[in-house]
Structure 1
Amino acid sequence: MLSSLTFLTALLATTTGVLANPVAIPGPLPTPPPSLKDAVAKRATSCTFSGSDGYSLASVSKASCATIVLSSLAVPSGVTLKLEKLNDGTTVIFQGTSTWGYQEWEGSLISISGNKITIKGDPGSILDGQGALWWDGLGGNGGKIKPKFFKANDLTDSIIQGITIKNAPKNSFSLNRVTRLTVKDVTVDDSAGNYATGGHNTDGFNINNSNDVYFTGVKVWNQDDCMNVNSGTNIYWTNGFCSGGHGLSIGSVANGSVVRNVTFENTVLEKQQQSVRIKTNSGAVASVSDIYYRNIVFNGGTDYGIIVDQSYGGTKHKPTNGVTINNFQLKNVTGTVDSGATQILVECGVGSCTNWVWSGVKVTGGKKSTACLNLPSGISC
């Protein structure tokens, strides 16, 4: 991990001019972080739960606690730490190292919902999913049944701050139907799964049917998407770092989905399968619009630097046009790929990709593609 952070520092130092003075282009404004002080009037009770029975006591006592402190929990196998339908304004604090026992099941290991909720980790705290007990290189594609880690459903006007997740069996954060959520200074570290039969589908963040979500200062080491938006609007990601995974992604976009107004900026990625990706499901009918990547630096892409794939899940290189991709902008996106990788691949359906603007895009290493299809006006591979 230290080498990754050293790489991040060096790359940011070489791109100071770009990152310090980005050229503004149209895009969504950041969602203001919720105030931790003014959320609601706090209840007086603080409750601390720890050890092997802490998970159950927390679940049944949550209604009487304004602050829930979870200290070095040992959650048994096959059990979800349920913090659902919390009282408005509840604060959840993780301390020490909490672990979850092994069992093949779908999970999740944690489930949280509520309004004006603060979820934070004290310095040095770790949520350890002990993923190596499940990892087999297959992720969700077979082998052991693996639980997702942290699920936030119907979380509104809330903040997740300072959490460190390690060794997720599968997806780390699943954010579903969340609105006005800030994710700040969160770390996902699945780097221990970097071997052939190790972690797979260990996505950092999956976004579904969510609106006004703001990410800042997030760091992810994993073996799948650093962050992806499957459906949602007004999603903003800044000052991030991603290592070992599949980049900052839109999709896969399924039938009936809408993805609109998404910005990724001021982020460094290393050793990604691809760094910038839009993937839409073959045969789907959906909408993707107003997508912005700016001030992105990547190094060591193993397959692609930038890829748009409109045949995902279907016949490769046979893109379909039921998902429109309108107003896709890249600004100051630069990086390198490995010798066997492709710099840029764009495979659009006929007429489905419109109004794209790319400037300051430079990918070196690897090879140029000769297989791009139905490129929008002004775009080249």
Structure 2
Amino acid sequence: MKNAVLLTTLLSLGHDVGALARTRTPWRSANDTQTWPSVNATQSCVFSGATGYSLLQALNRSCTDIVLSDLSVPAGVTLDLRNLRNGASITFQGETTWGYREWAGPLVSISGTNITVKGAAGSLLDGSGELYWDGQGQSGKTKPKFFQARLVDSTISDISILNAPVHVFSINNSRNLTVSNVIIDNSAGDGLAKNTDGFDISQSNNIEIVGATVMNQDDCVAINSGTNIIFRDGICIGGHGLSVGSIGGRSANTVDNVLFDNSVIINSQNGIRIKTKHSTNGTVSNVAYRNIGLSYITDYGIVVDQSYGAKTLAPTNGVSITNFTLENISGTMMGDGLVAFVRCGEGSCADWTWAGVNVVGGQRSTECVGLPAGIEC
């Protein structure tokens, strides 16, 4: 009964419930017949600390303006912000933290329509990845994925993430989503952190990521399926570059109309990459990389691999790669890294246009196969 009174009281007030949980609240008596007002969905609901997390899970769908202030999320549970009210906004303030537990995650899950997700100045989401990193990525310790988004007609902006245990943003089944000015800093994981993809995108349409800075140990972006996807004005440091794939063997295996533009890739294993799995089916079409700068790339400046996951086998042609454009690609390779490496299946790669590719240093491959007409390694 006491808990029911608590929830009724908090709903009636409709804001700063985290702060209320830390103060003495005048409870209603059993004989109190006062009619309490219902929550005003336009008011701000502020949730803070460990108590704020518990109240948030009970009340978040009653609010349209949700503020998470120095929120402390218990170990082994998701910050569940799914199925929010249409038009709701979420603001992260201060530092959001999670307790340590080996589990699959995600640490955050957000879904809804016309949702605004933003970080206040100086805010930080800290995943405590240093407690999980063991050099084994998705093996070894079970590590939680970080941020799952299933959003329609929505925006994510100014979010700063520190030390993700493994994959950071998973954007799935979303459409008309703009992600801007996100910072992912996993630089402390160099050496032990693995599989820390910045953005994994699947089964989504009309996605734009602009102004992202990603410091990690795997793909800066990996587009596994989807259409009409743009990544521009980005900075990728320390990872595996800007990738399409891996394609094949999933429930959805089509990538169409993708643009990577005006971005730089620094101190990374790869620059530009398309990877399709061996002996699978799918399509990759109308993918363009324009105005991309490469700096100190160690392995491959440009790589198209149709034997991904089976590198000792000949490439297969079950996934077609057509209308692949490179325009104004420049930069430097390190040591004996390869400027370009292409392994296409028989007849599966066609209608490619590469213009203004000027990558210096490194080596030229003599083992490229299945090159479309007019393309050289």
TM range (shorter): 0.7 to 0.9
- Residues 1-381 of structure 1 correspond to what in structure 2 (within 5 A)? 43-140=41-138, 142-153=139-150, 155-195=151-191, 198-255=192-249, 256-316=252-312, 318-381=314-377
Q: Is contact 1:317–1:347 with CA below 8 Å preserved after alignment?
A: no
Give the letter aligned to residue 340 of structure 2.
I
Give distance in 2, aligned partners of 1:351 and 1:235.
Answer: 26
Q: Which runs of 4+ in 1 moved over 3 A?
A: none
Structure 2 CA distance, aligned partners of 1:82 and 1:210?
21
Sequence identity, in percent?
Answer: 52
Query: SS where residue 58 of structure 1 aligns?
Result: helix
Larger Rg, first or second structure (1 or 2): 2
Say if 1:93 and 1:122, in contact at 8 Å, map to a contact too: yes
Q: Hey, what's the Cα distance between the residues in 2 that align with 1:336 and 1:139? A: 28
| Residue identity opposite 1:285 in structure 2 | N
Listed one character per residue, the Cα deviations across residues 231-288 of structure 1 (whole Å, up to 9, x for unaligned) are 0000011111000000000000023510000000000110111010000010111000
What residue identity is the alignment partner of 2:373?
Answer: S
> Contact 1:298/1:335 (CA < 8 Å) preserved in 2?
yes
* TM-score, normalisation: structure 1: 0.87
Q: 1:49·1:73 contact (CA, 8 Å) conserved in 2?
A: yes
1:316 CA displacement: 2.9
In structure 2, give the amino acid aligned to 1:106: A
Q: Scaled by the length of structure 2, what TM-score is found?
A: 0.88
Deviation at 1:340, TM superposition (A): 2.3
CA distance in 1, matches of 2:99, 2:143: 12
In structure 1, the gaps of 5 or more residues are 1-41
Alpha-carbon shift at residue 56 of structure 1 (Å): 2.3
Structure 2 alignment gaps of length 5 or more: 1-39
Structure 1: how far apart are the matches of 2:272 and 2:261? 11
Higher relative contact order (CA 8 A, sep 6+): 1
